[in-house]
A and B are shown apart, each in its own frame.
Chain A
Amino acid sequence: MNNFANGVSRRSFLRTGAALSGSIVAAGMPLSQVIWAAEGKVLKARARRDIAKLDPGFYQGGPDVDVMNCIYSKLTHYKPGSEWGWELEAAEKIEQIDPTHIRFQLKKGIKFSGGHGELTARDVKFSFERVIKHKSPDKGDWGPLDRVELEDDYTGVIVLKAPYVPLWNLALPYGVGHIVSEDAVMKATKDGGDFGMKPPAFSGPYVIADWKAKQYLLLTRNPDWSGPKPGFDEIRILPIADLKTAERGYQAGDIDFTSISLDSLATFKNSTPADTKIEEHPSLSFTWIGMNMDHPELKDINVRKAIQWAINVPQILEVAYSGQAVVATGIIAPEVVGHRDKALVSPEGDLAKAKDLLEKAGVTDLTLTLDCTNASTDTTIAQTVQAQLSQIGIKVEINAQDSGSFSTVGKESEGERWKDLQLIINSYSSLPDPYYATASFVQDQVGVWNWERFRSERFDELHAKGLMVEDHEARAKLYYEMQDLMEDSGAYRFLTHGGNPVMYRTTQTQAATRPDGVPLFVEFSPA
C-alpha cells in the first residue's frame, strides 16, 4: 500500500484524471492551475482569517496588516528576528527632535501604482492625519498626534500634543503607519475617509492580483516598485481559521507556511514532516485568571490572595497546553520592554499558604463562579482551576459561553452581568509596546475592559508616565511596578503568554517573522 501510495503522487493522480477527462479539459478548463500552479516562485501561506479591511487607517487586525505590509510603504517596519526592533523602510532617515516632534525624510522614487505619482511627505501627512480626522477606531494607535508639518516634498515633522513613546512600536511600523496616496484616496472617496476593501493605489512591493473571499488572496509583484526585489513572484494567502485544518493543509502540501497549535507542537517536533523547520515563538497575548474585586465574596484581599496561591500554573499549562506554553510573569510578553523576570506569586503556588489566607479571611464553604469562553483550552483551564481550588475548600461552578457572549460579561454598558462576575479566565492580544497591555487596566477602563475592577492611582500615574519615558531601562521599571501592583491587589493570577509556533517547508522558503512568529511576507526568501 505504501509503495503504491508513494508511487502515485497527487500530480500523477491528477494527470491521470486529466487524461481521462480529456474532453472536458479540451473545453477550456484551467487544468494547468491544478497540476502546475505550484511551480515557480510561489509562496502559499496560511492566515488566521480573511482580510476584513485594506485601508490602513481603519485596519481591523493582524491579518489585514500582514497584507498591508506587502502592498503599501511605511516609514519604518519591524525587523525580522527574535528581538523587537524597527528599521527604515520608506524613510531615508527619521529622528526624534524633541519629545513631541519627529522629523522624517523620505526615500526618493517610491511610486504609487495607477499613475498616482511619487510618494511624498504630503501623502504621509494625509495618511496619518486622516486617521484622527475621520475618527477611525484605530486612532488610539497614534496617541496624541496633532499634525504633520511639511518642510519640503520629502521631509516632514510629526507633531504630537504630548510625548508618546509607543508611536515607535505601535504606529509607525504597524497598521496606521502605512502611507496611502492622497490623490488616489481623494478620487476614490471624495472626503478622504475609509476606502474599505479596494485600495485605490499600491506603493509596496506587491499588488493584489485577485481576491476570493474566504478562499485566497493573491499578491503579485508590483511593476512600479523600485525598492529591493522581494523573494517571491506570487504570494497566495489562504484564510484558514482552524489551526488543525491548517496543519492538515500543510501536511498535504497545500500550504508552505503556517502557525501550529500548541497541543500539536510536541507531535510535530517528534515527527517533523519532511523538509520542514519548526520555530517556536512567544506570543504577545496574555492569559490570566481575574477576580472581580467589587464582588462581596471577593472583596477581602485575603480571599483573592488565597486563590492566587492555590492555583498551580505549571499544572494548568501541562493540562491545557500540553506543557508547551511557558509560565507568564505578568501581562507583558518576553522580549517586550517591561517584561518581568518573575511574578510575585510563585508559579506553583503554595496550598498551605492559601489555606492560611482563607482562614485569616474567616471564609468557609465558599462557592464561586468561573466565567470563560467555551474554547477547549479555556474549559480545560477552568476544570483544572476547579480541581485546584477544591483543595482549599472552594467550590467552583464553571460558566462557559460562546466568545460573543463572553466578550461583554464584564461590561457595565451591557446589562447587569458584571455585578455577578466573580472569577474570569481572560485573554487579551497585544502589540510590542507595554502601553498596549497596561491600557486595559487603568481606572477609566473599570467596567469596560478592566473586569477585575482593579483601581490604583499609582498604576494610572505610572501608565501615563510610561508614554513619555524614552530610556528603555527606566521605562521597564515603570511597567515592572505596574505589574507588581496588579498582582499585589490579589485580583490577577497570570497564567501564560501562550505561544505561536510556526512551521515552513525549507524546500520552498526561508521564513521571516517578527519575534512573536507573525509572518513578514516581504522578507520571505525562496529556498
Chain B
Amino acid sequence: MWFYFLKRIVLAVAIIMIAVTLLFFMIHAVPGDPAAILLGPRATPEMKAQLYEQMGLDKPLVVQIAIFFGGLLQGDLGYDVFSQRPVADIVFEQLPYTIELILVSISWAVAVAVPLGCYSAMRRNSVVNQVAGVLTIATIAIPSFVMAVYALLIFAVILRWLPAIGAGDGFWEGSIHLILPAFAIGIGWVGYISRLVRASMLEILGENHIRMARSFGISEWHIVAHYALPLAILPTVTILGVGIASLLSSAVFIEVVFARPGIGALIVDAVNTRNYPIVMGTVLVTSFLVVVATTLSDLVAAALDPRTRENL
C-alpha cells in the first residue's frame, strides 16, 4: 500500500511537470504579447522592456520554466501580470468555487443516477425503464451549456425562483446560487452514470454468485444493494475519477453563463490575455486535481473490490 502511494506521488509529480511544461511551450509558441495588452497603445519600448524584465519574459524559455519550478518549490507561483497580485492568491480564491460546483454537480448526479440505473436493470422490460432510457440518452446528448441557458431562462428569468448570476455569500445564499449551475453540469452525468450502472448491473445480476444468493431466498433489493452494486459501481468510480477533466471543461462554460467565479473562467481569460503566470498556476492546480481525483477513484475501487486491492 505504501509503495502504491509512493508510486502515485512520483507519477503525480511527473504528470504535473509534463503538463505544465507542455503548456508553457505551447502558449509561448502561439503569438501574443501580454505587455501590449497591459500597456496599451501608448507604451514606449522602454516601458515594454521594463515590464518584460519585471515579468521575466526577457529570459530564454528554458530559464523561465526553471524559474517557475524553482518558485514552485518555495510555494511561489509568481505574480499576475495585470494586478501584480500573487498568482497563488488568485488561483486559490477561485478554486473553491469550481470545486464546490463540481462536487455538488457530480454528487446529485450520482445520487439520482445510481438508483435509476439499478432500477432500470431490475425492471428492464418496464415502462419506467423505457422512459428512463430515452430521457437519459437525451440528457447525455444535450450539451451542458445549452442546458444552462435554458435552465437560466426558465428558473431565473421567467419564474424568477432562482438567481441568474454570481455565487452568493455564505452557505445558504451560496447553495441557492449553486442549484442552476450544478443542475446544468450534473444532468448529463445522470444519463451517463445511470446507463453505465444499468449495463454493469445487468452483467453482474446474471453471474453465478447472484443466482446463488437468489436461491437462498434473499430479497432482490438486498441482493442489488449488498452484492451486485459494489461490483457494478466500479466502472462508474473509475469514470468519475477520469471525468474530473471533463467536469472542469464544463465548468468553464457554466462559469461564463452564470457569471460565477472559478478557475474555468479564470483560465479562459488568462489565455486570451496571454497572462502566462495565471495560465501556469491554473493548469498546475487543475493537473493536481485530476491526479488527486484519479488516485481517489483507484482507492475507492480498491476498497470496494478486493481483487483490485491486490493489484495496488
Q: Is the CB of B269 within 8 A of A241?
A: yes
CA separation between A85 and B164, bound complex, in Å?
37
Which residues on the B side are within 8 Å of A197 (C-beta)? 83, 85
Give the residue name and chain of the A residue nearest to B268 (CB).
A241
Q: How far is the CA of A29 from the CA of B259 in the complex (A)?
A: 23
Using an 8 Å CB-CB cutoff, how does the interface string of A240-256 with B read, 1 for contact, 0 for none?
A: 11100110110111110
- Give A283 to B259 CA distance when docked, in angstroms: 24
Chain B residues with CB under 8 Å of A60's CB are 38, 82-83
Given A213-B90, A249-B259, A407-B36, CB of A53 within 8 Å of CB of B82: yes
Q: B44-82: which residues lie under 8 A (CB-CB) from chain A?
A: 46-48, 50-51, 82
B85 vs chain A, min Cβ distance (A) = 6
Contacts of A413 in B (CB 8 A): 33, 48
Q: Nearest A residue to B161 by beta-carbon distance?
A: A13
Binds A, one of B108-116, B128-136, B165-173, B302-310: B165-173
State the CA gap A242–B257 with chains docked (Å): 8
Q: A405-B32, A409-B31 are in contact. Are A213 and B261 (CB under 8 A)?
A: yes
Please determine whether A252 and B164 come into contact, CB atoms closer than 8 angstroms. yes
| Distance of B145 from chain A, by nearest CB (Å) | 11
Asked whether any CB of chain B lies closer than 8 Å to the CB of A510, the reply is no
A248, B153: Cβ atoms closer than 8 Å: yes
Interface segment among A30-38, A286-294, A322-330, A501-509: the answer is: A30-38
Whether B165 and A240, one on each chain, are in contact in the complex, defined by CB atoms closer than 8 angstroms, is yes
Distance in angstroms from A494 CB to nearest chain B CB is 18
Q: Which residues of B contact A449 (CB under 8 A)?
A: 41
Is A33 a contact partner of B170 (Cβ separation < 8 A)?
yes
Q: Are B82 and A405 in contact (CB under 8 A)?
A: no
Query: Which interface residue of A239, A241, A407 has the most chain B CB atoms within 10 A?
Result: A407
Picked from A21, A52, A404, A440, the residue with its CB within 8 Å of the CB of B272 is: A404
Whether B271 pairs with A404 at a CB distance below 8 angstroms is: yes
Tell me, rounded to whole Å, the shortest Cβ–Cβ distance linking A204 to chain B.
21
Contacts of A239 in B (CB 8 A): 259
Chain A residue nearest in CB terms to B163: A254
Contact yes or no, B259 A415, CB < 8 A: no
CB-based contact A248/B152 at 8 Å: yes
Q: Which range contains the number of B residues in contact with the other chain?
A: 35 or more
B295 interface residue (CB < 8 Å to A): no
Total CB contacts across the A-B interface at under 8 A: 164
Closest beta carbon of chain A to B147's beta carbon, Å: 14
Please name the residue on chain A nearest to B80 by beta carbon: A52
Q: A33-B170, A252-B165, A254-B163 in contact; A245/B176 too (CB < 8 A)?
A: no
- Which residue of B is nearest A449, CB measured? B41
**Please, how many angstroms separate the alpha-carbon atoms of A194 and B160 in the complex?**
43
Query: Does B231 belong to the interface (CB within 8 Å)?
Result: no
Q: Which residues of B contact A349 (CB under 8 A)?
A: none
Option from B48, B51, B171 in Cβ contact (under 8 Å) with A29: B171
A389 to B4, CA, bound (A): 65
Quick one: closest B residue to A196, CB to CB?
B84
Given the known A-B contacts A8-B159, A248-B157, are A196 and B169 also in contact in the complex, defined by CB atoms under 8 Å?
Answer: no
CA distance A137 to B265 in the complex (A): 26
Evaluate contact between A407 and B33: CB separation under 8 angstroms.
yes
Cβ of B212 under 8 Å from chain A:
no
What residues of chain A lie closer than 8 Å to B43, measured between beta carbons?
137
From known contacts A24-B171, A52-B82, A215-B166, infer whether A407 and B259 are also in contact, taking CB-CB under 8 Å. Answer: no
A245 touches B258 (CB 8 A): yes
- A21 and B165 CA atoms in complex are apart in Å by 22
CB under 8 Å from chain A, chain B span 81-103: 82-85, 90, 93-94
CB distance from A117 to the nearest CB of B (A): 27
Residues of B within 8 A of A251 (CB): 156-157, 164
B130 to chain A, nearest CB (A): 27
Type the 1/0 row for A394-424, where 1 means its CB is closer than 8 Å to any CB of B: 0000000011110111010111010000000
Q: In the complex, are the beta carbons of A404 and B160 less than 8 A apart? A: no
Q: Is the CB of B272 within 8 A of A240?
A: no
Decide if A454 is an interface residue (CB 8 Å cutoff): no
> Are the CB atoms of B170 and A254 closer together than 8 Å?
no
B161 x A407 contact (CB < 8 A): no
> Could you say which of B94, B163, B176 contacts A252, with CB atoms under 8 Å apart?
B163
Give 9 pairs: A residue, B residue, CB < 8 Å, sorted on A.
Answer: A29-B171, A31-B172, A60-B82, A137-B40, A137-B51, A253-B160, A403-B273, A404-B30, A408-B33
Closest 10 CB pairs of A and B: A252-B164, A140-B42, A214-B261, A404-B32, A30-B170, A252-B156, A249-B165, A29-B172, A240-B259, A34-B173
Please give 15 more A-B residue pairs, beta carbons under 8 A apart, in addition to A34-B173, A212-B169: A10-B163, A24-B171, A29-B170, A34-B172, A135-B47, A213-B94, A213-B261, A215-B166, A215-B261, A238-B166, A240-B259, A252-B160, A405-B32, A409-B31, A414-B36
